[in-house]
C-alpha cells in the first residue's frame, strides 16, 4: 500500500478513536436516558469522527446527571427534527454492526476454521465472502441485542420473548440494509481500487483495512437511513 495511504489511514483511525474516547467520557458524566445509547454513541464515533461528535452534541448529549430530573431529560430532545431522530435510530443499528464486524473480521483472521459453516473452503474460493457471511450473522445477533435493550426498558410489562420478537422486527431490515452499503463499499474498494491499482488486498492487521471499514460504515448508514425512516413510519420501530 502507498505510504501516504497508510499515513492517512492512521490519522483517520486516530481521529475516530479520540472522538470515541471523548464521547465515552462525556456519557459517564451525562448518561443517556436509554442506557444502551451510552454504548452506541462512542461506538459510532469510531467511524463517524468529528461529524458524529457534532451530531451527538447537537441532538444526543444529555444534561449532567447531577442537574437533571426525568422531566428535564425527556424535554431536552423532545423537539429534535424527525430526520435527526431517524438518524439516531440508524446509528443504533450501526453500533451493533460495528461491534459484529470488529469481532468477525478478527475472529476469521486468527481462527479461519469458523468460516467453514459459511462456505470456505468449499462453496467460495475466496474467503472474503465467507467472512461477510460470518459478519452478517454476528451483526444480526448484536443488532437484535442492542434493539432488545432499547425496547425492554421502555416496555416493562413486555415479556422477554415478546421484546425479542419486537427487536427482531425492528432491526432485521435496518441491519440488512446497513450491511448492503457496507459490503458494497468494501467490494468497490477491494476489487476496483486496491487490487487493480496496488495489486494487493489490505489485511485485517492493516490500518488501511480499518480506514476502509470506517468508510464502509458510513456507506452503511446511508443505505440504512431510508429503511429506518420506513420502519418508523410503519410503527415497527420507534424514533429515538
DSSP sequence for 86-117 = HHHHHHHHHHHHHHHHHHHHHHHHH-GGGGGG
The pLDDT of residue 78: 57
Collapsed DSSP state (helix, strand, coil) of residue 230: helix
Q: Are 98 and 47 in contact (CB under 8 A)?
A: yes
Q: Are 86 and 228 in contact (CB under 8 A)?
A: yes
The pLDDT of residue 204: 93
Measured CA to CA, the distance from residue 107 to residue 85 in angstroms comes to 34
| Residue scoring higher pLDDT (81 or 161) | 81
Q: What is the pLDDT of residues 102-135, one digit of tens each?
A: 999 999 999 999 999 999 988 888 999 999 999 9
pLDDT bucket at 73, cuts 50 / 70 / 90: very low
Measured CA to CA, the distance from residue 63 to residue 73 in angstroms comes to 7
- Percent of all residues in the chain with a pLDDT value above 90, rounded to a whole number: 67
Q: Are 143 and 97 in contact (CB under 8 A)?
A: yes
Q: Which cell numbers in the block locate residue 59?
A: 441532538
| Residue scoring higher pLDDT (186 or 93) | 186
Q: Are 135 and 100 in contact (CB under 8 A)?
A: yes
In the predicted model, is pLDDT for residue 22 greater than 70? yes
The pLDDT of residue 171: 81
Measured CA to CA, the distance from residue 116 to residue 130 in angstroms comes to 8
End-to-end Cα, the chain, rounded Å: 41
Q: Are 112 and 118 in contact (CB under 8 A)?
A: no
Q: Which cell numbers in the block locate residue 80?
A: 429534535
Q: Which cell numbers in the block locate residue 167?
A: 427487536
The pLDDT of residue 229: 94
CA torsion 137-140-143-149 (nearest 10°) is -120
Q: How far is CA 117 from CA 97, 133, 183, 203, in A?
A: 20, 9, 20, 22
CA-nearest of 60, 8, 54 to 39 is 60
Q: Which cell numbers in the block locate residue 148?
A: 432488545
- Percent of all residues in the chain with a pLDDT value above 70, rounded to a whole number: 91
Residue with cell 478478527: 106
In the predicted model, is pLDDT for residue 74 greater than 60? no
What pTM, to 2 d.p., does this model score? 0.88
Amino acid at each position: 500500500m502507498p505510504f501516504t495511504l497508510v499515513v492517512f489511514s492512521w490519522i483517520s483511525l486516530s481521529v475516530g478513536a479520540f472522538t470515541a474516547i471523548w464521547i465515552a467520557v462525556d456519557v459517564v458524566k451525562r448518561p443517556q436516558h436509554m442506557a444502551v445509547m451510552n454504548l452506541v454513541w462512542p461506538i459510532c464515533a469510531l467511524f463517524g469522527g468529528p461529524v458524529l461528535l457534532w451530531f451527538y452534541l447537537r441532538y444526543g448529549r444529555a444534561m449532567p446527571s447531577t442537574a437533571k430530573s426525568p422531566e428535564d431529560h425527556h424535554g431536552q430532545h423532545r423537539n429534535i427534527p424527525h430526520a435527526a431522530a431517524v438518524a439516531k435510530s440508524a446509528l443504533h443499528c450501526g453500533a451493533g454492526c460495528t461491534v459484529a464486524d470488529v469481532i468477525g473480521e478478527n475472529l476469521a483472521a486468527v481462527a479461519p476454521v469458523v468460516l467453514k459453516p459459511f462456505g470456505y473452503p468449499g462453496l467460495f474460493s475466496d474467503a472474503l465472502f465467507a467472512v461477510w457471511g460470518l459478519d452478517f450473522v454476528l451483526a444480526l445477533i448484536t443488532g437484535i441485542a442492542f434493539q432488545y435493550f432499547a425496547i425492554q426498558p421502555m416496555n416493562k410489562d413486555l415479556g422477554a420473548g415478546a421484546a425479542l420478537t419486537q427487536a427482531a422486527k425492528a432491526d432485521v431490515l435496518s441491519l440488512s440494509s446497513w450491511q448492503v452499503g457496507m459490503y458494497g463499499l468494501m467490494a468497490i474498494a477491494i476489487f476496483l481500487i486496491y487490487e487493480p491499482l496496488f495489486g494487493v488486498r489490505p489485511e485485517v492487521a492493516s490500518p488501511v483495512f480499518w480506514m476502509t471499514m470506517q468508510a464502509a460504515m458510513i456507506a452503511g448508514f446511508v443505505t440504512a437511513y431510508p429503511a429506518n425512516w420506513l420502519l418508523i413510519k410503519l410503527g415497527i420501530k420507534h424514533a429515538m
